Structure formats: structure tokens, C-alpha cells
Amino acid sequence: MTVTTRPAKKRVVLLGATGSIGESTLRVLRAHPASLELVGVAAHANAEKLFAICREFGVRHVALADESAALAARTAQQIPGHAKLCSGPSGLVELASLPEADIVLVAVVGTAGLAPALAAIAAGKDLALASKEILVLAGEFIMAAARAKGTKILPVDSEHNAVFQCLAGQAVGDVRRVTLTASGGAFRDWPVERLAHATPAEALKHPNWAMGPKITVDSATLANKGLELIEARWLFGLRPDQCHAVIHPQSIVHAVVEFNDGSMLAQLCPPSMTFPIQHALLHPARAPGTDASLDLGRLSALEFRPVDEQRFPLLHLARAAMVTGGAAPAIFNAANEIAVAAFLAGRLPFLGIATVVEKTLERMQPPPPTDLAAVLVADAEARRTAAAQL
């Protein structure tokens, strides 16, 4: 007699539920109610959207990082009756270690997801990671904590999820290089002279992906690909010289892994984040996709071309920071966050983003990679140094 056991439902905590990755994750959850259950959600300040999610999915554990938004929600008695609201950064940490959770998806923009990610690892949860900034800031420490605890880290960033899939059953020692594809962002076909006048509205018009504002600007500068090279380095234990990027305007091939024998494996899917999110949440199971898959017969072309680093100096700066090591990637990331926020607020021209990052890296001597505390100090100092240039 064959006994078939249905896999248990995975219970998911989603940090950054109101954002772009959050929305794609909710679509995956709606498509797979028999396999996935949402048990906790968190956001920064968007209480209305967070409570709507909480009602739709019957979620009991809710957190708002912004204390005043949480206070306003309590005062206005907006909290759904069945839910318990935690507030402040510690609220996210509490959710990340919920006893009833199996997997925590961190999709908080910037570095606010670091403490919750470390808490999820310490609590023995699987970690699905979209927030690349925290791997750039503290990849060495996150990976060491995950190794020590035996935690599974499942990459959600599409390129890294692609690499993860290509490496299944392969030895990392057999990898020659990993190439991440980049769409080239909003300005890939603009003449370089026009970039000086690029506006936030123009930078936010991404040709292929619908994403949050910070990462969309990072795609236009290619800082995003720089952050992703560093992310790949830590996730897969690669040397900096093994991490590469190439422009691929169609965003269909997400990454290519080349092995020592010259064979290459690639992962393809349409440019929708539901594919990597679903893969990470259901891993190692496969289920019908949330979105329609590719029709190869209708693909007209898959183009690849080298990155022009004159057009995209932030990619070059990120690569140099990765090679320098220590706190340099943290400094790159922090200065970039400050500069992108200033650009979006209309206080810095587009080309000023790279200048602020370059000057911040020059002005700060990266301290040796002693411990996480030293890296966090460098992060804070880089934010001050970058802000002083605005």
C-alpha cells in the first residue's frame, strides 16, 4: 500500500507586506492557500493597507515599525478585532521569531530588516530574503549565523533565486563565474549627456519591472546590480572576481552560472517577482505558477551586451567596494540610500548620486572587518558623511 502524505502548510511571516514585493507575495499566497498560510505581517507606517491585508488573510500578528503610526491606529481603534499589534523596530523582531512561523520573508526596503533577519535565524526559521541591502551591510555575519544555526536562506531577488536554482545539485567549487543580468533600467538607451537632467519621474519609469521607488532608481543607476554582485558573493560563497553583470534588455534570463568545464546553466521566466517568491516559499516543492510561464515560440530575441561603466559609475564603485571588503560595501550602501532619497526628494541631481557615493567612500577609511558592531558604526558614519554633502 502506498501512503501519500500531504505536505504541511508552511506558515509565513511577511515583513514589508505593503510594498511591491509584499504585493507579489500576497498574490502567491492567494494562489496557494493549501500550501501557504500567512501568520504575521509588518510594514513601516501604512496602517490602512496593513490592516486590510490582515483582515483578508485573517492574520493575528501585525507590526508597524513607526511608533506614531501605531499610536494613531490604536487611538482611532483601527486595529482589526482579531489582531494583536506590535510597534517599533522590536515589533518586527517579535514577528520574525513567532513560534507559529516556519518561514520569514524579509522585504523591508533598506537596512531595517537586519535585526529581524538575525532574529529569524536565531529562532530557527527559514529565511526568504528580498532585502539585498542587509546582505551588503552584513552578509558575512548573516551567513555565519545561518551556518551556525543550520538555517536555510532562500534568495528572493530574481537573479539570486536564478543562481540558487542553477546550483541545485552542483558543487560551488565547480563554478567558474556567475553572471547576473541587468535590464539597464530607465536610462539604458539615453545619450549620456541627457543623464545630467534626468528627473525622479523619468528614473521611476522602469522598462520591465514594477518595483518600489528606491530599487527602481537603483536600477536606473545600476547601483542595484552592484548591490546584487555583493549579495551574490555572500549568498553563494563566491570570490569577487567570480561575480559579473551583463545587460539583458528583455529580463527573461535572470542569471547564468558557468562551470569550470565551460558549460553554462541559466534560469528563465517572465519578469514577475511571483516566480522567485513562489520558488522560495514553496522550496523544495514546485507547484503551478502564480503567473503564466514563457511561450518560447513567441520570444523574438534574447540579447546580451556588456555594461558601459562610464554610463553606470555606481556599478564600478560597488565592485571596487566589494574587492576592498571590510566596511566598504556598507559605506557604499549607506551613502547610496541617502543619495537616492535626496534625488527622489528633488534635492540632488541624478548624476549627484554617484558623486555622493564616491566622495563618501573616499572620505571614510573603511575600518577592518572586525565585527558587526564596527560595520554598523561605519554605516551610521557613512550616512552622516553622505548627508553632509547635500
User: What one-letter code names the amino acid at 88?
Assistant: G
Rounded to the nearest whole angstrom, what is the least distance from the CB of residue 131 to ligand NDP in the complex?
Answer: 4
Q: Where does this chain touch ligand NDP (CB under 6 A) — which range of 17-25, 177-185, 237-245, 312-320?
A: 17-25
Exposed e or buried b per residue across 353-375, where buried means at least 16 C-beta atoms within 10 angstroms of its C-beta: bbebbbbbbeebebbebeebeeb
Interacting positions 40-79 with ligand NDP (CB under 6 A)? 42-46, 65
Rounded to the nearest whole angstrom, what is the least distance from the CB of residue 157 to Mg ion in the complex?
Answer: 4
Nearer to ligand NDP, 268 or 367 (CB): 268
Q: Which of 335, 347, 339, 348 is nearest to 381 (CA)?
A: 335
247 lines the binding site for ligand NDP (CB under 6 A): no
Contact characters 115-154, ligand NDP, x per CB under 6 A: ---------------xxxx---------------------
Phi/psi-derived region of residue 170, left when phi > 0, alpha when psi is between -120 and 50, beta in every other case? beta
Residue nearest Mg ion, Cβ-based = 157
Instruction: Give the three-state DSSP class for 128.
Output: strand
β-sheet bridge partners, residue 215: none
d(CA 274, CA 26): 9
109 lines the binding site for ligand NDP (CB under 6 A): yes
Number of residues interacting with Mg ion: please give it, by CB under 5 A. 3
Number of residues interacting with ligand NDP: please give it, by CB under 6 A. 30
Interacting positions 144-163 with Mg ion (CB under 5 A)? 157-159
Nearer to ligand NDP, 128 or 364 (CB): 128
Residue of the chain from 22, 185, 226, 329 that contacts ligand NDP (CB under 6 A):
22
Interacting positions 301-360 with ligand NDP (CB under 6 A)? none
d(CA 66, CA 214): 19
- Which of Mg ion, ligand NDP, none does residue 112 bind to, with CB < 5 to 8 Å depending on kind? ligand NDP
Q: Which long-range contacts (CB under 8 A, 24 or more apart) does 364-370 make?
A: 364/327, 364/331, 366/324, 366/325, 366/326, 366/327, 366/328, 366/331, 367/326, 367/327, 368/326, 369/140, 369/325, 369/326, 369/327
- Which of ligand NDP, Mg ion, none does residue 80 bind to, with CB < 5 to 8 Å depending on kind? none
Nearer to ligand NDP, 65 or 269 (CB): 65
Cβ-contact 274, 289 below 8 angstroms: yes
Nearer to ligand NDP, 48 or 241 (CB): 48
Instruction: Give the three-state DSSP class for 264.
Output: strand
d(CA 218, CA 211): 11
Nearer to ligand NDP, 10 or 160 (CB): 160
CA-CA distances (angstroms) from residue 257 to 164, 302, 307, 320?
A: 10, 17, 18, 22
Report CA 271 to chain centroid distance, whole Å.
15
Nearer to ligand NDP, 19 or 329 (CB): 19
Residue of the chain from 10, 11, 13, 18 that contacts ligand NDP (CB under 6 A):
18
16 lines the binding site for ligand NDP (CB under 6 A): yes
160 lines the binding site for ligand NDP (CB under 6 A): no
188 lines the binding site for ligand NDP (CB under 6 A): no
Cell of 42: 509588518
Cβ-contact 238, 232 below 8 angstroms: yes
Residue of the chain from 209, 320, 324, 369 that contacts ligand NDP (CB under 6 A):
209
Nearer to ligand NDP, 92 or 178 (CB): 92
Rounded to the nearest whole angstrom, what is the least distance from the CB of residue 266 to Mg ion in the complex?
Answer: 15
Instruction: Give the three-state DSSP class for 145.
Output: helix
Number of H helices, E strands in the chain: 15, 11
d(CA 46, CA 23): 13
Q: Interface residues with ligand NDP (CB under 6 A)?
A: 16-22, 42-46, 65, 92, 107-109, 112, 130-133, 157, 209, 211-215, 273
Q: Interface residues with Mg ion (CB under 5 A)?
A: 157-159
